[in-house]
Amino acid sequence: MGRLYILHESASGYGLFIASGIDEIGQNTEAVRNSVTDLNRFGKVVELVAFSPFESALDALNQCNAVSEGQMTDELRNFLEISLPKVKEGKKPKFKLGVSDPKIGSHIFEETKIPCESNEFDLELIRGIRLHFDKLIEGLKPGDLEKAQLGLGHSYSRAKVKFNVNRVDNMVI
Amino acid sequence: KLTGMKGGNKVVVEAHRHEGVFIAKGKEDALCTRNLVPGEAVYNEKRISVQNEDGTKVEYRVWNPFRSKLAAAILGGVDNIWMKPGSKVLYLGAASGTTVSHVSDLVGPTGVVYAVEFSPRSGRDLVNMAAKRTNVIPIIEDARLPARYRMLVGMVDVIFSDVAQPDQARILALNASYFLKSGGHFVISIKANCIDSTATAEAVFASEVKKLQAEQFKPMEQVTLEPFERDHACVVGAYRVPKKPKLAAS
């Protein structure tokens, strides 16, 4: 089998990982589960390939809105095409990209021909990345990710409630 | 032990068995949490200010069990809520944020509460409340679709679920598969007639417990929310409990 890459979308930016220690643990979900909890073991299974931080709060919101709808943005496309091996026309790529959501996977494949999958095994690896995220990304301090989630959560949710949240008028029916 | 004077009544605030929860002992005992934003009430709840021995003041907010299923479960004697200062909590069915605000007090400045609510009407109050509490991350989304908010949530220690939907066990399991640590915990409020209004409450609780067991959950205890809520139960347990290593033969 070819190489397995993993895409992880976070509030701070896009991360691309490679599941390099995969042969050692095997394609067994139970084995991955056991290796996920311990960073020493997981760090040998999954390594960071590239990280692309969002440029601004507005950029983060645009990316989050698209990811939520299962859509690939131009920024995500650029990030994947630069960071992953080239997909040559007429040749079967020797790698796969594991993603959280089959919907974004099919959109990525349609546009770029990057082969995507979203099986139980990929999802286990993504759980591990989510658990150890701030230790896998260099320069990310503890608490930085939560700060990014807080800002993004507010801007995402304010748009969803549609009203002016600054107007305090508790309606009583 | 702290004492406060308000309206001439002497109030003593003591720590509850659950870390981060307190009991105000006055004319009547009241459950409360230490206010993360002193001077501010969230839903017109009563506040109690007490003075430490060194003269500094601490403010508590009274936690009404008729308005909060988590408070009702605590008064119902639940053994463990698996939330304490510093915990990361995913809260499904946050509504206007009344209970969320107490969980925010409970986990304190080093904790995080990811609060998911689908209704924009309640969501507006939730977003306003979260504006003053920086440990609350408001998420206006459908709890059935965690993929939609996967960028906003990290791994959590515990999921509290109060979604009152017939498929709530599935909703909890789906969120746990994304966000709940292995060995983490869940606290779920079950309203019997939301699931099956024809069966007895006890039968509904038993069938929900079975559903949870089929989803890698290990239910550990169940408490009724009477007398605060009718035909409600709260089930607490663990997720993906690691298998105990076999002991070497001696």
- Residue A41, chain B, CB below 8 Å: the answer is no
Out of A36, A103, A157, closest to residue B123 by CB: A157
Q: What is the model's pLDDT at position B55?
A: 85
* More reliable by pLDDT, B105 or A91: B105
Q: What is the model's pLDDT at position A116?
A: 97
Using CA coordinates, name the residue in chain A closest to B146: A68
* Residues of B in Cβ contact (< 8 Å) with A153: 114, 130, 137-139, 152
Hey, which residues 74-133 in chain B have their CB within 8 Å of chain A?
Answer: 112, 114, 120, 123-128, 130-131
Other Cβ atoms closer than 10 A to B164: 16
Can you count the helices (H) and strands (E) in chain A?
8, 5
Out of B150, B155, B181, closest to residue A100 by CB: B150
Q: Which segments of B46-135 are extended strands (E)?
A: 47-51, 57-62, 88-92, 112-117
Other Cβ atoms closer than 10 A to B5: 11
Q: What is the model's pLDDT at position A168?
A: 53
* C-alpha to C-alpha distances, B230 to A7, B72, B188, B191, B220, nearest whole angstrom: 46, 11, 16, 8, 22
How far apart (Å, rounded) are the C-alpha atoms in residues A131 and A42?
10
Distance linking the first and last C-alpha atoms of chain A: 62
Q: What is the model's pLDDT at position B248?
A: 59
Q: What is the mean pLDDT of residues B42-57?
A: 91
Q: What is the mean pLDDT of residues A106-117?
A: 96
Tell me the nearest-neighbour CA distance from B178 into chain A, angstroms. Answer: 6
Q: What is the model's pLDDT at position B237?
A: 98
Q: What is the mean pLDDT of residues A44-72?
A: 96
Q: What is the model's pLDDT at position A23?
A: 61
